[in-house]
Chain A
Amino acid sequence: MYKKVRDVHLHAALLCLPFLLMFAVSGLQMAHRRWFPTQTQVTSATVQLPSGLPGAREAARLLALRGELSAIATSGGTTSFRIARPGTSHQVEYNSSTGVAMVTTTNSGFTGTLNRLHQLQGTWHNFTLLNIWSGVLGFVSFGILLVGLTGLYMGFRNRRDRWIGLVLVIAGSGLALILIVWMRS
């Protein structure tokens, strides 16, 4: 039994390792922003599209920019929308009478990309890649739980340190659980 649990612990941890490193680095970056200054680059470009396109979806398709289409708004013949993927966001202003599209691209670099991936939620996005990332991160989260539970089991199977382990779990988990329940109530 112990050997099987140890194998599950090892394989789950190694399989998830690159993702856990990503979580660790981006978590550290979000917690201590001063240590990791973000390098945001903003560039603009003008693209000529056919005039009179019926909506943002058609304009987005012709621009061939990769990302999730959102924040669509139309006002006085100008359609604005955003196409974003982790680390890169394109804000587009399309004038349907002239066909001119102003594209402002914000690139938040390596740390910005990790930051966005860390905060990814749900599998309801209209950009398949985001859904795949989110699904994989769900599996990694399950992996964290698996590694934690198998680690707990192995910690208590070690007879020499069992009492120290018990004290550490009671102290750490007791404090954390009291705070979680108390602040919620």
Chain B
Amino acid sequence: MREVIQKLHTYAGLLTFVNLVVFGLVGLAATLSPKPREPIPIVRTVPYDAGPNLTDRQMAEQVCTLLNLSLATPIQSAVIQHDAANHLVLDFWHANGRHRITVLEAEHTLRIEVMPNSFWSYLGTLHATTAAFHSGDWRMQLWADYNEFAMWCLIAMLISGVALWLLAETRQRWAPWSLALGCGIFGALCWWVW
């Protein structure tokens, strides 16, 4: 019995090792992160000629393809907006940051504001992306499914790890004290927050 649990525990850990590292790095980065500030966008313009009689959604899809923003697909309704001058504004949020695009039809131009994410922020988005998330980009969907699997593996490793400890032939004398200390700190912090 113990041998089967040991194998499951080890294989789950080895198979999802990178996800575990991502979870750890994201947690460390979150603790060390500075107070969020409004990002300064990088602005550029590109020529753009919208076809005749396109709906806002069709234009959004065209712009999304033109700028290779597949990670921002499928395009949600909230992406499609209008500014005070009634220009079409497309606000794409994705794992690598944000693209805010104003379609200047009369000037045949797209005004693009790019607010890129830091690498840590990118990893933060990835660590939170699971199977409930439906992406139009097959790479992100594959990651989401794999990350979901990693999440369940982590739960399985927690349970099997405790079982392995309890079923061990020779118990480590100080191990219960580590658990007690962890539970004590957790309990005290929970009591304080409630």
State which of A17, A22, A30, A183 has its C-beta within 8 Å of the C-beta of B143: A183
The winner among B34, B165, B174, B182 for most chain A CB atoms within 10 A is: B182
Which of the segments A42-50, A52-60, A73-81, A164-172 contacts the partner chain? A164-172
A102 contacts partner chain B, Cβ-Cβ < 8 Å: no
Which of the segments B39-47, B104-112, B124-132 contacts the partner chain? B124-132
In the complex, chain A residues whose CB is within 8 Å of the CB of B186: 18-19, 22
- Knowing A132-B189, A133-B193, the reply to whether A122 touches B34 (Cβ < 8 A) is yes
Q: Is the pair B24, A144 in contact by a Cβ cutoff of 8 Å?
A: yes
In the complex, chain B residues whose CB is within 8 Å of the CB of A155: 10, 13-14
Interface flags, A99-125, vs B, CB<8A=1, else 0: 000000000000001000100111110
In the assembled complex, the Cα of A164 lies from the Cα of B175 at a distance in Å of 29
Q: Is the pair A135, B143 in contact by a Cβ cutoff of 8 Å?
A: no
Q: Is the pair B10, A158 in contact by a Cβ cutoff of 8 Å?
A: yes
Shortest Cβ gap from A32 to chain B (Å) = 6
In the complex, chain B residues whose CB is within 8 Å of the CB of A14: 165, 175, 178-179, 182
In the assembled complex, the Cα of A86 lies from the Cα of B193 at a distance in Å of 7
In the complex, chain A residues whose CB is within 8 Å of the CB of B101: none
In the assembled complex, the Cα of A144 lies from the Cα of B25 at a distance in Å of 9
In the complex, chain A residues whose CB is within 8 Å of the CB of B155: 24, 28
In the complex, chain B residues whose CB is within 8 Å of the CB of A148: 13, 17, 20-21, 24
CB nearest neighbor in A for B189: A133
Q: Is the pair B25, A145 in contact by a Cβ cutoff of 8 Å?
A: yes
Interface flags, A11-42, vs B, CB<8A=1, else 0: 10111111111111001101111000000000
In the assembled complex, the Cα of A60 lies from the Cα of B133 at a distance in Å of 39
- Knowing A14-B179, A134-B31, A141-B31, the reply to whether A184 touches B119 (Cβ < 8 A) is yes
In the assembled complex, the Cα of A67 lies from the Cα of B128 at a distance in Å of 26
On chain A, the number of residues with a Cβ less than 8 Å from chain B's Cβ atoms is: 68
B63 contacts partner chain A, Cβ-Cβ < 8 Å: no
- Knowing A7-B172, A10-B175, the reply to whether A124 touches B34 (Cβ < 8 A) is yes
CB < 8 Å A-B pair total: 179
B48 contacts partner chain A, Cβ-Cβ < 8 Å: no
- The secondary structure that dominates the B interface is helix
In the complex, chain A residues whose CB is within 8 Å of the CB of B154: 20, 24
In the complex, chain B residues whose CB is within 8 Å of the CB of A18: 182-183, 186-187
Q: Is the pair B151, A151 in contact by a Cβ cutoff of 8 Å?
A: no
- Knowing A11-B178, A148-B13, the reply to whether A135 touches B31 (Cβ < 8 A) is yes
Shortest Cβ gap from A143 to chain B (Å) = 8
In the complex, chain B residues whose CB is within 8 Å of the CB of A22: 186
Shortest Cβ gap from A107 to chain B (Å) = 10
The 7 closest A-B pairs by CB, nearest first: A141-B27, A138-B31, A144-B24, A18-B186, A176-B18, A145-B24, A31-B130
Instruction: Give residues in A with beta carbon < 8 Å to B.
Output: 7, 10-11, 13-24, 27-28, 30-33, 85-87, 113, 117, 120-124, 129, 132-138, 140-145, 147-148, 151-152, 154-155, 158, 161, 164-165, 168-169, 171-173, 175-177, 179-180, 182-184
23 contacts between A and B (CB under 8 A): A10-B172, A11-B175, A11-B178, A18-B183, A21-B158, A24-B158, A27-B151, A31-B151, A129-B193, A133-B189, A133-B193, A141-B26, A141-B27, A141-B31, A145-B21, A145-B24, A145-B25, A147-B20, A152-B13, A168-B11, A176-B146, A179-B139, A184-B119
